[in-house]
Structure 1
């Protein structure tokens, strides 16, 4: 373990630490952030009203919209001369959400990520291949400084330039790798096209996140690369990657850094707490952030938590893998389905690879779904360019049947030859909404 005293603390010990840090954070935002000052006034509360962890429910929620409304630096709790780094979202749907860090914030973040890497199986003696994108996105630099803090020799390759990635993997022989699962699969695909066996690399563990991925995707990654694939969770609004990560021993829920983040799971409709083990919306409060402390941030991510001790020995709260997002749920003719559920079923089917897109379209006045899939190399070789082949017709019908049975949604299945769907060097575009006159990629 990276920090056994914290990672095996009793619940009462952790709750005492969390309460102290929660009270400090509440005082910080009340004294320094006009947005929260106004919210406290509206609710009729002061920092002195937070006497227990349960009192967190007295505090105001924060949403992504609040960061955008206060763009760029309106939620910062320190003067700009104390800010040493700025990150933000990609801003593809408008102005980015901007987050700031003091020097102490970046040091804290590095230690949080180092702890996460050790939890995933990392060692100080590792060479670590970091294929997350560097830039405003927190993934690249977040993993980079965490790996350095752990003591690893870190390769800042970023995303893209896939053949060069493969050259460095072969020559440097890293033990660990990180990136989006869709891009790592692109690397695997390129290796196979070059006549290489991805299972023969030196990589033993992979840390994957920044996009939804299913247990079937995990099985594919582990089989293709002969490694242990672990899920990492992070939000730039709170810090970046490292908020939670799976342990390599159990891969049974993501260990939350409880000493830095207080988690709640709420019914997204009523905003009331749900029982441990029940799905709800994850809501986080940062406990140690200086530049941008955030109260009760509504993530939109659906998951559950457990406080039971893990078989790895850690006692930290564990969150399930993300089941979906409140804002990416597809509602088709009254039926709700998450893209992750579609992936879960699709990747069980032989004949297609884990590269797909869900197109939302209009048929007359009704919403409909087109599921675009790509043939695996074996079937592509058998049928060539003849996508009207009997095998393809049967495959389409089978996929339609499975999706209807499992997801309760009728989908038009569009089959593409190998390489027929776009690849990404970062987050894959899984949902394409064509229901508007100007299509929006989700």
Structure 2
């Protein structure tokens, strides 16, 4: 089936801030940054305490580079201020509250004023429009609703763009397929691994995933590779673009990828100031093009201003293309807290995905198991990965050997590979767990 022609960016009316020059944008950033830093210092006790301890004052921020003088905010700061200690406005001005799942510790709580919600919807709409979604389209929203920011954030943005939203949320894969067939949406919003789950379930029902009405997929909430993009676009006959965000900074819509270039998400720098710091020595601020940890400062948030938030996401900043004034994020190679250190070698799940999807016999479904065999001091990594349906026993043996060799060559560490039957590994219903740490607890 031939992919439909993608509408060029020129058919969309852009926000004024998408078209201004870099000089104009940086002048706007400085004005908003100076306001935000003073606002946070005056209204959030944690920031007053941290700034005072660091010996800095909002008046010290005279140019954009001065931001590096100010202390970082971490997830642990938000947890220590649980539930509402980070809020800069009285409770009656908070229009909505979201929170993380809290599965790895106390939840992080974020709040929004009515203006925050309007800005959020505008930026998600901007991101969706950049990714090919247009007013009047039907949008199937398979991000989870509830305290997670993905579902409601994406929903509000699609409505603000002028779309018809189908709020299915995550899970209920059989029902997702029924609604896609019956309602004929133009676009789908989901995590990339959950869209893969939907495509697999369609094939099991005898439905060709490339035959649906879907033309665009806007995917986020987990790192994914160019190989995964190719897998989804070929399987489903769609254009797949990235959307980036995190609850502590806003939610989805902090950055979005343009469908005409598909070369990384443009950060909406009229609302957020990004930095890249050395992941091992965050006092070192890196230049554009250098790989490190992404840090964000909000420029317009009222309920929860965030100053130099360490995201743990590893990427780099690149010049803007489709939106020239707004810098792009390179592909997120992983999270510093998802990094596996195996016999002194740093390894991320996205590296395994990139390698595996270049081997035709192997599917995108894999898990990483870390063990430490009894009596041994060295950790063992096992890659469990499903074969494709048509692969023979001989093909499995060959693919297993190739994957082992390629991981050794490109990552620099040995591992075991277990090629398993199609459908035997856990499927995503939202964010997918890739790493299973089965090592004995200390």
Shorter-chain TM-score tier: over 0.9
Question: Which residue is 1:278 aligned to?
Answer: 290
Question: Which residue is 2:361 aligned to?
Answer: 351
Shift of 1:250: 0.3
Which of 372, 379, 383 is equivalent to 1:362?
Answer: 372
Question: Which residue is 2:6 aligned to?
Answer: none
| Residue 421 of structure 2 is aligned to residue 417 of structure 1 | yes
Question: Which residue is 1:23 aligned to?
Answer: 34
Question: Which residue is 2:385 aligned to?
Answer: 373
Q: Distance in 2 between matches of 1:391 and 1:318?
A: 40
Shift of 1:436: 3.1
Superposition RMSD in Å: 1.4
Question: Which residue is 2:306 aligned to?
Answer: 294
Question: Which residue is 2:197 aligned to?
Answer: 186
Q: Distance in 2 between matches of 1:194 and 1:36?
A: 54
Q: Distance in 1 between matches of 2:234 and 2:251?
A: 29
Shift of 1:390: 4.1
Deviations 1:379-410 (A, max 9, x none): 2xx5xxxxxx4443333222212221221121
Q: Distance in 2 between matches of 1:13 and 1:203?
A: 38
Question: Which residue is 1:224 aligned to?
Answer: 235
Secondary structure in 2 matching 1:377: coil
Q: Distance in 1 between matches of 2:53 and 2:233?
A: 51
Deviations 1:60-106 (A, max 9, x none): 10011111111111111111111111111111112111111111111
Are the equivalent residues in 1 in contact too, given 2:387–2:396 (CA < 8 A)? no
TM-score (norm 1): 0.94
Shift of 1:47: 1.6
Secondary structure in 1 matching 2:368: strand
Q: Distance in 2 between matches of 1:245 and 1:70?
A: 30
Question: Which residue is 1:386 aligned to?
Answer: none
Question: Which residue is 2:330 aligned to?
Answer: 320
Q: Distance in 2 between matches of 1:157 and 1:254?
A: 25
| Residue 97 of structure 2 is aligned to residue 98 of structure 1 | no
Which of 206, 217, 226 is equivalent to 1:195?
Answer: 206
| Residue 219 of structure 2 is aligned to residue 215 of structure 1 | no
How many residues are matched?
Answer: 428
Question: Which residue is 2:252 aligned to?
Answer: 241
Deviations 1:43-62 (A, max 9, x none): 22222121111111121100
Shift of 1:342: 1.0
Deviations 1:161-210 (A, max 9, x none): 11111111111111110101111111101111111111111111101111
Deviations 1:148-167 (A, max 9, x none): 00000000001111111111
Q: Distance in 2 between matches of 1:333 and 1:227?
A: 40
Correspondence 1:12-411 to 2 at 5 A: 12-271=23-282, 272-307=284-319, 309-310=320-321, 312-363=322-373, 364-379=376-391, 382=392, 389-411=393-415
Question: Which residue is 1:385 aligned to?
Answer: none
Q: Distance in 1 between matches of 2:388 and 2:338?
A: 27
Question: Which residue is 2:3 aligned to?
Answer: none
Q: Distance in 2 between matches of 1:84 and 1:4?
A: 25
